[in-house]
Amino acid sequence: MKKEVLMFLSNGYADWENGYISAELNKPESEYKVSTVALTSDNVKSMGGFTVVPDYTLDSLPAQYEMLILIGGTGWNDNSAITPVIEKCLQESVPIAAICDATTFLAEHGYLDNIPHTGNSLDYLKQNAPNYKGGANYIEKQAVSSEYIITANGTASLEFAREVMKKLEGFPIETVEGWYKFFKDGFYQE
């Protein structure tokens, strides 16, 4: 049986931020599968206009899952209902991966104050997360992995996917790095 990874999507989620990691985790040979989560059972529409029927709501999550992935986008101002799920993950040592405005949400709620992290920029976090106190731990990198939280900026979907695969440990590191180099460099040098 495949290990489940939950991907939280809200209306206006950024399509490109989940593309690489969803495709890799859902490959037939992967030991993982991605299931989508939304606030309600209503369909979720991406920034690009794609409609997703969520597998779960916050009230119907499975008892066990390997990771919670929070995809950024334009809807993060209305997602405070996910806070208890984040708390549960941290209490049970379930990794969380956040990209783009999902990192801003984590910053606003204090989850990044004491760990190495990144986001869209330090100034962006300070401006859009008034309760954020983690500036001393901010790292100017595309993606940063701490013990239980991975963060990435909105242009880092490839680096985000690499950090998620490394954290899940179902992929040999050489395979992950080769995969990353292939998609980063492409077939031909520009």
What tokens does 56 get?
Answer: 């779960």
Instruction: Give the model's pLDDT for residue 170.
Output: 87
Instruction: Give the model's pLDDT for residue 45.
Output: 97
Tokens 């390997």 locate to: 66
Tokens 């040979």 locate to: 29
The yes-or-no verdict on residue 58 having pLDDT over 90 is: yes
The pLDDT tens digits for 83-106 are: 999 999 999 999 999 999 999 999
Instruction: Give the model's pLDDT for residue 77.
Output: 86
What tokens does 65 get?
Answer: 């899952």
Instruction: Give the model's pLDDT for residue 78.
Output: 85
The yes-or-no verdict on residue 31 having pLDDT over 90 is: yes
- Collapsed DSSP state (helix, strand, coil) of residue 61: coil
CB–CB of 101/125 below 8 Å? no
Domains of the chain: 3-185 (3.40.50.880)
What integer is the mean pLDDT of 119-124?
A: 98
CA atoms within 13 A on the CB side of 36: 22
Q: What is the mean pLDDT of the chain?
A: 96
Tokens 């760990």 locate to: 115
Sign of CA dihedral 43, 87, 156, 22: negative
Compute φ and ψ for 95, nearest 5 degrees: -60, 150
CB–CB of 124/135 below 8 Å? no
Instruction: Give the model's pLDDT for residue 18.
Output: 97
The pLDDT tens digits for 126-165 are: 999 999 999 999 999 999 999 999 999 999 999 999 999 9
Query: How far apart are alpha carbons 68 and 59 in whole angstroms?
Result: 15
Q: CA distances (Å), 81 to each of 76, 114, 117, 154, 165, in order?
A: 11, 23, 23, 22, 27
The yes-or-no verdict on residue 190 having pLDDT over 80 is: no
Beta strand 143-145 with 67-70 is: unpaired
Which residues have a catalytic role annotated? Answer: 100
DSSP 145-157: E-SSEEEE-TT-H
Give me the percent of the chain exceeding a pLDDT of 90. 96
Instruction: Give the model's pLDDT for residue 16.
Output: 96
Number of other residues whose CB lies within 10 A of the CB of residue 132: 22
* Whether the predicted model's global pTM rises above the 0.95 cut: yes
Instruction: Give the model's pLDDT for residue 176.
Output: 96
